[in-house]
Structure 1
Amino acid sequence: MYDVIVVGGRCAGAATALLLARRGHRILLLERARFPSDTLSTLYIHQPGVDRLARWRVLDEVRATGCPPLERISFRAPGLLLTGPAPAWGAATGGLAPRRYALDTILARAAARAGADFRDGCSVTGLLWEGDTVAGVRYTTPGGGTDQARARLVVGADGRNSTVARLVGAPYLRHDGRLTVALYTYWSGLSGDGLGLYSGPGAGAALVPTQDGLTLVNVQLPRDTPVTRGNARHAYLAGALRACPDLAELLAAGRQEERLFRCTDLPNFFRRAYGSGWVLVGDAGHHKDPCGAHGISDALAQAELLAGCLAETVGDPSLREKALRQYAEERDRRWTPPYESNLAYARLSPTENHLEVLRKGETDPLFRSLVFRALAGIPDEDLRSLGRQAEVH
């Protein structure tokens, strides 16, 4: 009998397992892939996420992967260039963008060092039930066998197509469909010492320096863009040109080092966060378009929120129910406003009024700092006034 079984060993799941194991709970962490394993991702960790890694004492390991500190930000749109230092937050002087095969492995190993039973190569195929309460999982093992384990609580941290969410029938509280298709690949030979963001008519892009001298360049196009295996590279380069001619020139001087990945499954939703014996964290419960690159930072924040709510309540059913309700309410309260903003960005059609507001940042360093703090998801009363100003315009 475990206290908690966490299904999914990447950012959200490994962080949840790490924090609960450090509180003395008996944790089983199951991951379908064999680590180290890569996955599609924008890679970028905003400052609040970097600060969490520091507080959890794993930031030095992440930095040791060789991912450079991203202490500058530039945002280009028609008639607009905002560039300057990234705002600091806690222990973070900027963002970081480690490869996922490195980051996820670091977090999972940290959970194991804290006492979690980490098993990779294990796919959950079913749930154990006691009446209408989830009481454990069935899963396949790396050798092709099957096993099962019981727990007081099962955490679904297994991504936007969550098996746990499907098996418990977690309903959507809100579903806004897909807005973009994303194309990713890695380049060498690109200049730049920070995060580069680009927005043009019907296209957006991000330039994200990572480890090994590589830079991830992500291009996003409207969801109805016909992107097939045969025309994906053409669509990618044409999208980069639409996002910003300067970006297209930059790519022409670089070298593509990995194959081009395309992702069309980018829904925007909130699922019900919990039920009897189960709870969802990270993309399993709430997913939004990657245009804001908040997936990793959100996963770490939600893991911390869930672990904090559960803290001393895992063994008491009545207290656990109250804790899960608190987690769900706080998740929806905190993540709904940025979800709305992200939907607006993902429509890839910035209005002239919005751009006119942002142009103030070209000459006003304080205003520019507020914009960059908003991009990073840094809480600030001044940011709310900035939002109100944009709404007025």
Structure 2
Amino acid sequence: MQTIPELDVIIVGARVAGSAAAIMLAQSGWRVLLLDKAAFPSDTISTHIVLSGGAQVLSRMGAMERLERAGGFRFSSMRTLGPGFDFHADLQAAGPDRRGLCLGREKMDAVMLELAGSFERVTIQQEFRMTDLVIEHDAVLGVRGEGRTGAREFHAPLVIGADGMRSSVAKIAEQRLRAFRRSEVPCARAYYYAYFEGVARDRLGDQLVTEFEASPGAGNLLCRCENDRVVAAAAFDANQMHSFRSEPGANLQRHLNESIAVGAMLAGARRASRVRSSGLLRNTYRDPVANGALLLGDCGLHVDPLFGQGHSMALISAEIACALLPACFSARGGKSLSAEAMAPFTARRDEVLMRHFRASERASRDLTLSATTLAAYRAASREQWAADEMIQFAQMSSEARFPSFRFARLMAQEARAA
């Protein structure tokens, strides 16, 4: 049986948020146990896009070079189009590298886990299914579960839930401690995606392309990924999901063909995978801290995939947590970190990410773009500086206020002209 050293942190969930947290905690000298029910490499249904803000976190933690070697594609510009708007911005302009990353989850998660495992202070147990939390005096003290060697129990001052939107950590703590207060908004759209081969470079180069409103609620995304494939994702009214999934391949192709521009970009290409679906989703906000426990990634903030924010939210929140945890450990008075000591994480996470979460939540409530959103997109189409500002916000690459005063003024002009 594997001997586990005395632990500082247990992380449940070893995909993007969990592995990133393990890497950054180990770099700071903490002893981490990283658990996951899967055996890696393991695929999962997910967006493939890491926006600029998340890509910068990957670079700072030393993961980006490995992800590029695994086939990760660095998109260096972004284009957004729809009825009455079409704008783009260069992500390689003067200043910090703002290129994003596109890579499938099977490779991305395996690379991140391998990097986490390269640190002596990280112990990894795959195929470990957490079944319960160890709770005493209204505080989480550890986890119980079943692994390759049978039933095990592990203790640490902090348990991090990074086990996805259907988090067992969050569910158990909610039931037993009434922790992790949440609010939810159903996503009005359903999402399907597939890989395509043979997409000509003169049709799609190094851009991330997002398209809206070819029909009410419709959205599309295109980007190159590993093995020179292109991932093509389609969004549509969730009420159409039942009929769509009767013939997903034919219906995805029809949806793309009826688009404004992305269908033409895929002309002559061949679908090289089965069509995958996200199912019906929700935007979920959770208060991310409880006595002895903290939530990262989709556990704490799960967003509509429409804007491709999920990976970047997970990475940014993990970096925030790992920067603040040393002070939380210093303030520890008992067996576990208190929710009060970790309150600065909630404040900082929400300060940085809630404007993006709210944008996703608003888009989830309605199938059509709001008048305000249309005015913003049309403003970005009028002036390059406005496109740069809009896409910098969309890429989550700056904490600068958006919209700026001059962008808001341009939006107002567009709204009056509509």
TM-score over 0.5 for the pair = yes
C-alpha separation between the residues in 2 aligned to 1:372 and 1:380?
13
Following the alignment from structure 1 to structure 2, what is the Cα–Cα distance between the partners of residues 354 and 107?
36
**Corresponding position: 1:383 with 2:402:** yes
**How far off is 1:120 after superposition?**
1.2
Q: Deviations over 1:47-79 (max 9, x none)?
A: 122111111112111111222321121112013
Q: 1:272-351 residue pairs with structure 2 within 5 A?
A: 272-314=287-329, 316-318=331-333, 320-321=337-338, 322-346=340-364, 347-351=366-370
Change (3 A) 1:382 1:162: closer
Q: TM-score, with normalisation over the residues of structure 1?
A: 0.92
Greater Cα offset, 23-32 or 327-336 = 327-336
* Distance change (3 Å), C-alpha of 1:154 and 1:391: farther
SS at match of 1:221: strand
Unaligned runs of 5+ in 2: 1-5
Question: Structure 1's 88 and 165: CA in aligned 2 closer, same or farther, altered over 3 A?
Answer: farther
Q: Output the aligned Cα RMSD.
A: 2.3
Tell me what 2:189 maps to: 180
Corresponding position of 2:3: none
- Given that 1:20 and 1:311 are in contact with CA atoms closer than 8 Å, whether structure 2 keeps it comes out as no
Alpha-carbon displacement from aligned partner over 1:203-250 (angstroms, at most 9, x marks no partner): 0010021010111111111222233542323432343245x2432233
The alpha-carbon distance between structure 1 residues 357 and 306, as it changes in their structure 2 partners (threshold 3 A), is: closer
Separation in 1 of the partners of 2:53 and 2:94?
6
The Cα shift of 1:94 comes to: 1.3
Q: Secondary structure at the match of 1:362?
A: helix
Q: Quick one: percent identity of the two aligned structures? A: 25
Q: Which whole-Å CA distance do the structure 1 matches of 2:410 and 2:185 have between them? A: 23
CA contact under 8 A between 1:18 and 1:111: conserved in structure 2?
Answer: yes
1:298 is aligned with what amino acid?
M
- Deviation of 1:328 (Å): 1.3
Letter matched to residue 167 of structure 2: S
2:128 aligned with 1:122, yes or no?
yes
Preserved contact between residue 370 and residue 382 of structure 1 (Cα < 8 Å): no
Does 2:247 correspond to 1:231? yes
Any idea what SS the aligned residue of 1:307 has? helix
- For residues 327-354 of structure 1, the C-alpha deviation after alignment (integer angstroms, 9 at most, x for no partner) is 1122223222111212333434124664
Query: What is aligned with 1:78?
Result: 83
AA partner of residue 288 (structure 1):
V
2:15 to 1, 4, 10: 10
**Pairwise CA distance, 1:130:** 1.9
Structure 1 residue ranges without an equivalent (≥5): none
The Cα shift of 1:2 comes to: 1.4
Q: Who is 1:43 aligned against?
A: 48
Cα 1:123–1:315 shift into 2, 3 Å:
farther
SS of residue paired to 2:241: coil
- TM-score by length of structure 2 reads 0.87
Is 1:67 the counterpart of 2:85? The answer is no
TM-superposed CA distance for 1:294, in Å, is 0.9
Check the 8 A contact 1:67/1:209 in 2, yes or no.
no
| Residue identity matched to 2:236 | L
Note if 1:166 corresponds to 2:181.
no
Q: Structure 1 residue aligned with 2:100, among 92, 95, 98?
A: 95
Q: One-letter code of the match for 2:310?
A: G
What is the deviation of 1:355?
A: 3.1
Assess if the C-alpha contact under 8 Å between 2:91 and 2:97 holds in 1.
Answer: no
